[in-house]
Amino acid sequence: MGYGLRFLRGLIGPFLALKEYLPVFRKAKPRGRAALVFGTALLGGGRFFTGEIFRGFALLLIEAIAILYYIYFGFPILAGKIDFPGLGLEFLSAVFIPVLVYLHFLELAALLRVVQGENYRKLRKPKLFSSLEAGITSFSQVWKDCVSKDKFNLLSPFFFMGYYQIRKKAYAKGMLLFLLQAGFILYLALTGIYDLIDFVRLETDFRPSTFNLVYGFVALAVIAVFLNIYFKNIKTVMESIRSGKGFKPFREEIKAFFNEKLYLSFLSFPVLGVILFTVVPLIFMISIAFTGYEGASQNFVWTGFESFKRLVLVRDYLYTLLSVTRWTLIWAFFATFTNYFGGMFLAMLINKKGVKGKKFWRTVFIITMAVPQFVSLLIMNQMFAYEGPVNQFLLNMGIIKEKINFWGVQSRARILIILINMWVGIPYLMLLTSGILMNIPNELYEAAIIEGANKWQLFSKITMPYMLFMTTPLLVTGFVGNINNFNVIYLLTGGKPLGVGLVNAGGTDILITWLYQLTKSHRLYNLSAAIGIIIFLLSASISLVIYRNTAAYKGEGRFQ
């Protein structure tokens, strides 16, 4: 009864808190009043005045997405003008309205507490503007303090990089800066400007548009690197004039990269690898989503958000996107938690006192891990085929009278995929959780047993909290990994059977395999890139929201 009353009180708490709205508003300072006004008008609008900019943007984004959804789909679905059978959007459209209203009241109640306690965060300018303002202020101060003959030196790095260094007898550094500036100007004059122009228009006669994209990004990267060096050189010259000191010998600066700055020397190679093999392909993929890159032709132009409009506003593509996304989340949930709890219970069973042959059982499961996954999955695909050994065995045993089409029916194929994934993934989680289980202090169990705890209480109050504390990052990465788990789906079913009403997608396709089909079979590169962005946003948001709200993140390094 007590739990029910507390739950009910917590549920209606945001509505009860609103009776304090007018008193708090009257006593609040201008900043607090502005927060309440904008927080009442817009979900998260008040957070921009309390200093919680990120939270404000997140809540505004939720409200904007909800408004757009109801304008284009929610209200037409509720009015019966459009229909997406099998997705349950009618129920979701009806339920989400009170949920959104409740979220608005919940946020307003939280905002009232902040304004009442004047618990504001400091409003900070964007770092770029703060750095620019600080640089201008410092330059102005040095300009006022320096003598007339130094003012030319102070202005020199704006026009001639390396001049001041050469004047201060740092010849090697000065020549390098001069050659860098000359090379940059020459690059822009010969090819950089033209690459940027071709990047804007994309479609040219002399080379494919993909080349224009790549060369355009190279030009932007070269400009960004040069500007970084350019402004750092200005800062270095300004500090040298202010302090009256010269520059370190170039040879000493080079030696520093093998001594106190050795970490920079070692980190530069992996950072360069990440930029070349991760960041650049990611930027290229994102840019493709905003072009008309389709089919065999490699000539295309910028199309803005047309690919996203096509996914969202074209009925067949929207139905496919919603259906595939729903199955992706269902698959990721079951694939993650069935393996996690299956591995944990298997580890607890093997580690239990009285179980004989523990080394044998562990070895058996390790052997299953030694077999390459693609071999196991392809064998399973053939075993459950219509003419496969499983059907033949069931017929011979008299369990069934006719063969079962395991892969030909969507519901059967999906259930079978989850079960086979358990067989593939549980041994790994069993080994992982075995080590964690053996590290739980026995004193905790002994103290709980003395207090009269039963087996379920030992598990729910000690084992499970400890496991979740230690393995929450693993669960998050496992969930995101299963959203992008291409191998299991593709090797088992290839996305088949055909999905009813789905465009270029099968009944077992998840987002990543649908993206692959659109790219390989249908050459819809722009749509594939748009789906890739959706996958990234889905994975990143789930990872951040779940992980930041776990005890493993909030209480890092300690378990209570």
Q: What's the chain's average pLDDT? A: 82
pLDDT in tens, 91-109: 788 888 888 888 888 888 8
Burial 312-334 (b: 16+ CB within 10 A, else e): beeeebbbbbbbbbebbbebbeb
Cβ pair 381, 492 in contact under 8 A: yes
Asked whether 70 and 93 are in contact (CB, 8 A), the reply is yes
Indicate the SS3 state at residue 302. Answer: strand
Q: 311-554: which CATH topology?
A: MetI-like fold (1.10.3720)
Tens digit of each residue's pLDDT (9 = 90 or more) over 230-273: 998 888 888 888 877 777 777 777 887 788 777 778 888 888 88
**Token pair for residue 45?**
């609008």
Q: What is the pLDDT of residue 465?
A: 81
- Residue pair 497/405 in contact by the 8 Å Cβ criterion: no
Give the C-alpha separation, 556 to 398, whole Å. Answer: 57
Burial class (CB in 10 A: 0-12, 13-18, 19+), 22: exposed
- Report d(CA 395, CA 89) in Å as an integer: 41
Convert 488-525 into a string of H (helix), E (strand) and C (coil): HHHHHCCCCCECCCCCCCECCCCHHHHHHHHHHCCCCH
Q: How far apart are CA 285 and CA 282, in angstroms?
A: 5
C-alpha–C-alpha distance, residues 221 and 196, integer Å? 11
Token look-up 């990872």 returns 543
The answer to whether 346 and 430 have CB atoms below 8 angstroms apart is: yes
Closest CA to 111 of 26, 23, 14: 14
- pLDDT of 179 over the 90 cut: yes
Q: Is the pLDDT of residue 557 over 60?
A: no
Please give the distance of CA 541 from its chain centroid, rounded to a whole number: 6
Give the HSE-up count for residue 555: Cα atoms under 13 Å, Cβ half-sphere.
Answer: 11
Dihedral of the CA atoms 428, 430, 431, 434 (nearest 10)?
160
- Which H or E run contains 78? helix 75-78
pTM assigned to the model: 0.77
Distance CA 38, CA 47 (A): 9
Which of 269 and 145 is assigned the larger pLDDT?
269
DSSP-derived letter for residue 122 is P
Give me the pLDDT at residue 219, please.
93
Q: Which of 11-20, 279-288, 501-510 has the lowest mean pLDDT?
A: 11-20
In this predicted model, what pLDDT tens digit does every residue of 312-345 receive, in sequence order?
Answer: 877 788 888 888 888 999 999 999 999 888 888 8
Task: Please give the structure tokens belonging to residue 10.
Answer: 């917590």
> What is the residue extent of each domain of the chain?
2-117, 140-256, 311-554
Average the pLDDT over 357-367 and give the result: 75
First to last CA, the chain: 28
Q: Residue 216's pLDDT is what? A: 92
124-129 LR contacts (CB < 8 Å, sep 24+): 124/51
Supply 35's token pair: 């927060």
Beta bridge partners, 291, equal 302
The answer to which of 16-25, 120-129, 166-175 has the lowest mean pLDDT is 120-129
User: What is the token pair recorded at 376?
Assistant: 């196991």
Strand-pair partners of 506: 498
Tokens 């069934």 sit on residue? 400
> Which tokens in the block code for residue 511?
């987002």
DSSP 291: B
Element (H, E) at 205: none
